[in-house]
Amino acid sequence: MDIKNLYKKYSLNTYNRLGPVFVKGKGSYLFDDKGNRYLDMFPGWGVSILGHCHPRIVAVLKKQASTLIHLPNNLFQQEQALLAREIVKNSFPSKVFFSNSGAEAVEGAVKLSRLYGRGNRHEVIAMRNSFHGRTFAALSVTGQEKYKKPFTPILPGCKEAAFNDFSDFVKKVSKKTVAVIIELVQGEGGVNIATTEYIKQLYGYCRQNDILFIVDEVQTGMGRTGKLFCYQNYGISPGIMILSKGLGAGVPIGAFVVAERISNYIKPGLHASTFGGSPLVTAVSLEVFKTIKEEKLLKNVLACGRYLALKLKGLKNITDIISEVRSFGLMTALEINGDSSRIFEACLNYRLIVNATHGNVLRILPALNVTEREIDQAVIILEKVFLEHNKKTRRKTETKT
Ligand SMILES: Cc1ncc(COP(=O)(O)O)c(C=O)c1O
């Protein structure tokens, strides 16, 4: 069967797809329909934090699927309550709402900020180069014109401030400002890391001026930066935390976690989701928390994060096209002098999966249980790709001169 042709014929054309047809995954590897093995250093676009088909996730999925899959949210079930408790126990005094995706969780957080503003304040300040999703509120607080422009007018009251620039934020605040939304490490925007000094200033200002501090941990959450949640690296306690991706390690789940002091702004009937927090996905997510703890994955994130960064800095010395290596735990990026999608494609040809984002950034988000051996394999391929790139550019300059 020609799968690619079926996509062409029947799927709405919203994604640029490349490479083979994948049929199987195991740990940090994917297998195509011809039996070829690919090293996946970007598993599930940041979702598959335990690698592909982790045996504990497979086991819990099988067990829960034969016990109870779905239940409407007007009935009680065990797994959702246990997961809410697990999230709160591991973060800050709060209450949890479950959605199915990151954007939906952002949507809920923005709605809650409207309730918090009580009709007097509604403006939300987002950061330039941020990414919060494709639904309308999430898109409106995404600080990238290319995503918003085709869909204008966006939600009113969404403003943008420069990332890591406290004085620009203060300039954007008005009497109507009710919330700020921030990724502490911008993912899609190119792995840009917020400085501690900036976050301390921003957080202090928001507390003083009763501005809700919303952290989007869709990509940074669930251990990616070496702490279970990235805000814990900064010594702050958010008003709202948004989770998704790794929370389910492959099953669709999102959540917004609301500080206890503001949780009573929402009442039954004001927000809901038919599928949100089903027994199936919450049982899996509970297993994700257990696995991170029992397999001591935060330790591995820090050790392998340092190892990967070191290796990538070594690569920077062999090629002119890497201008910067950025890393926080296992959230890693190479800034490229030029188009990073070319490098992504070359890696794919050598059966290595990474990600090209923001035009000139190569993003690497391995599973939390990645090994040094797998990192070595990835770096060998990257080295080959960069050396070939060096040769090509040298040839081009020689023919010009
Ligand atoms: C930081 C961040 N927030 C929100 C989203 C949107 O999540 P979803 O695609 O699940 O709607 C993403 C997706 O990449 C993200 O990286």
DSSP 33-52: TTS-EEEESSGGGGT-TT-B
Ligand 1 binding pocket includes 103 (Cβ within 6 Å)? yes
For the chain, 401 residues long, give each residue's pLDDT as a single digit of tens: 899 999 999 999 999 999 999 999 999 999 999 999 999 999 999 999 999 999 999 999 999 999 999 999 999 999 999 999 999 999 999 999 999 999 999 999 999 999 999 999 999 999 999 999 999 999 999 999 999 999 999 999 999 999 999 999 999 999 999 999 999 999 999 999 999 999 999 999 999 999 999 999 999 999 999 999 999 999 999 999 999 999 999 999 999 999 999 999 999 999 999 999 999 999 999 999 999 999 999 999 999 999 999 999 999 988 889 999 999 999 999 999 999 999 999 999 999 999 999 999 999 999 999 999 999 999 999 999 999 988 887 777 777 76
Structural domains of the chain ordered from first start: 3-53+297-400 (3.90.1150.10), 56-294 (3.40.640.10)
- State the Cα–Cα distance between residues 136 and 77, nearest whole angstrom: 31
Ligand 1 binding pocket includes 132 (Cβ within 6 Å)? yes
Nearest to 273 by CA among 79, 67, 74, 47: 74
- State the Cα–Cα distance between residues 187 and 361, nearest whole angstrom: 10
Amino acid letter at 74? Answer: N
Ligand 1 binding pocket includes 99 (Cβ within 6 Å)? no
The residues, ordered by sequence, that sit 6+ positions from 111 with a Cβ below 8 Å of its Cβ are 137, 270, 271
Ligand 1 binding pocket includes 219 (Cβ within 6 Å)? yes
The atom of ligand 1 lying closest to the CA of 244 is 10
* Beta pairing partners, 214: 181, 240
Give residue 389's pLDDT: 86
pTM of the model: 0.97
pLDDT tens, 104-117?
999 999 999 999 99
170 backbone dihedrals φ, ψ, rounded to 5°: -60, -35
Ligand 1 binding pocket includes 216 (Cβ within 6 Å)? yes
CA angle 208, 214, 220 (to 5 degrees): 130
Ligand 1 binding pocket includes 101 (Cβ within 6 Å)? yes
Give 102 Cα–ligand 1 centroid separation in angstroms.
5
Give 366 Cα–ligand 1 centroid separation in angstroms.
17
- State the Cα–Cα distance between residues 197 and 232, nearest whole angstrom: 14
Give residue 401's pLDDT: 65
Give residue 1's pLDDT: 81
Q: Would you state the torsion angle of the CA atoms of residues 77, 113, 331, 168, taken in this order, to the nearest 10 degrees? A: -170
Q: Where are the beta strands (DSSP E) in 190-268?
A: 192-193, 212-216, 240-243, 254-259
Tokens 């990509």 label which residue?
Answer: 219
Given a contact cutoff of 8 angstroms between Cβ atoms, the answer to whether 335 and 297 are in contact is: no
Ligand 1 binding pocket includes 188 (Cβ within 6 Å)? yes
Nearest to 333 by CA among 354, 350, 351, 303: 354
The residues, ordered by sequence, that sit 6+ positions from 22 with a Cβ below 8 Å of its Cβ are 30, 31, 32, 33, 38
Task: Say whether 134 sits in a helix, a strand or coil.
Answer: coil
- Judge residue 211's burial from the number of C-beta atoms within 10 Å of its C-beta, 0-12 exposed, 13-18 middle, 19 or more buried: buried
Ligand 1 binding pocket includes 52 (Cβ within 6 Å)? no
Give 218 Cα–ligand 1 centroid separation in angstroms.
6
pLDDT tens, 115-125?
999 999 999 99
Count of CB atoms within 10 A of residue 208's CB? 8
Q: Which of 15, 219, 331 to mutate to test the pocket of ligand 1 (most atoms within 8 A of CB)?
A: 219
